[in-house]
Structures are given as C-alpha cells and as structure tokens.
Amino acid sequence: MDIYTIIFLALAVFIFLRLRSVLGQRTGNERPPFDRTAARNALGGAQDNNVVTMPGKVIDQAPLAPSADPTPPSDRWKGLAEPGTALAQGLDAIVDKESTFDPRHFISGARGAYEMIVLAFANGDRRALRDLLSSEVYESFDAAIKEREKNEQKTETRFVSIDKAELVGAELRDRTAQLTIRFVSQMISATRDKAGNIVDGSADTVADITDIWTFARDVTSRDPNWKLVGTGSAN
C-alpha cells in the first residue's frame, strides 16, 4: 500500500468521525419522516396538491357574549304601548307567533300603503287596490268607484301631509294578526261632474282627515304583505 492510499484512508476516517459527532447516533426513538399523503388520507382530506395545511390545532370557542342586555318586558314597546295594556299584550302575542315582526317597520309601511290606497281609490285604479285590500274591502271600494263612473264623476285628491300614524290596536286571531292604525292627515279632495263642476269637497281647501284602518296578515303565510281589512273615520 503506497503512501497516498494511506493518506486518503486516514482522511476518510477523520471525516466519518466528525460527521458522527455532529449528527449523533440513532436511538430508535426518532420520529419517522412526515408522510403528507398518509396524513391527508387519515383525516379524510382531498388529494389536492394546491391545499396547504396550516400548523396549529382547532380550539373550541365559547359562545360570544351578547352585545347588550335583552330588552326588559316593561320597555319592549316603549313609545308604542304602555306595559300591561291590551295593545301591548296584542303585540306580544303577534311576536310570539312571528319573531321577526317589527311594529315600527310596519307603521312605516302602513303610512305608504295609506297614501297609495287613498290615491288609487280617487283615481279608480282597481288594479292597485286589488293587491292592497281584502276581498270584502275591495268590493266596497269597487262599488263606490262604479257609482262615480255611473254618474260620470271624477275625484281629485292630493295629500298635503300625513301628520301622524299611530298604532291603536293589535290582536292575534288564530293565525291572523290584526293591527289598527289611526292616520291623521291633511289633504285636498274634490269630486267633479261631467261638466267639471265640483259636486263634493273643495279644490283649494285643506281638510283635516282622521282615518282608522285595520290591516291583517296570516303569520303562517310566506306572503309578507298586509292587506286592509277594515276602514273607519273619526271625522
């Protein structure tokens, strides 16, 4: 064996001993290499090479605390009805059947319906009225429109303002919720004959009008619309 072979063997032994001291020896307790495919299969995951699983663990979170205390029963209908009154009890009964019911939102919609119905009646717009009235109320309105048409009369109505829309009654009858509202408004209304002469009302006088209307809806129906089921006047 020549001198060069001895030198290379000595160098190889030296390198082996250095690597052994740095890397250490296997003890039999080392973790096996991570098998991504086996892990995905064990978790029922999809074989998607574009999915990157983030490290960490799932933590069960406690329910979020409510942002505010529930409204006390005494304040539930504050500004709408006094606690213990028939009106408050009627609202409670309706909400028990339909938890999403909001009387304030209803009043806002009723104001718009009131104006639409009054103007549709004045203009003889049966199509609009049919969608807003119960069959009984529609028949009554239709009869009045027919009487005007028979006499060749036309009604002109213009709202000046709707000053108040106040909830005065609430009731649940089986599946039907009924809400009664008192409307206080100012309007100008006149009925003219064939020749254009005014036979009722005034074309330039503002009249104070108070109407008491009742709307109803089947709370079990998918149809969210309310219909006018009763009319009255305090004038």
139/74: higher pLDDT: 139
Name every residue whose Cβ is closer than 8 Å to that of residue 123 and which is 6 or more positions away in sequence. Answer: 155
- Domain chopping of the chain, boundaries: 81-234
pLDDT of amino acid 3: 59
pLDDT tens digits, one per residue of 134-170 = 999 999 999 999 999 999 999 999 999 999 999 999 9
pLDDT tens digits, one per residue of 15-42 = 555 545 444 444 444 444 433 333 333 3
pLDDT tens digits, one per residue of 47-62 = 333 332 223 332 222 3
Which of 210, 188, 184 is CA-nearest to residue 201?
188
- 14-23, 66-75, 113-122, 209-218, range with the lowest pLDDT: 14-23
Class of domain 81-234 (CATH, top level):
alpha beta
**Residue 75 pLDDT class (50, 70, 90 cuts):** confident
Query: Could you write out the three-class secondary structure of 152-172?
Result: CCEEEEEEEEEEEEEEEEEEE
* For the chain, percent of residues with pLDDT exceeding 90: 63
85/37: higher pLDDT: 85
Question: Mean per-residue pLDDT for 88-110?
Answer: 94
Is the whole-model pTM more than 0.75?
no
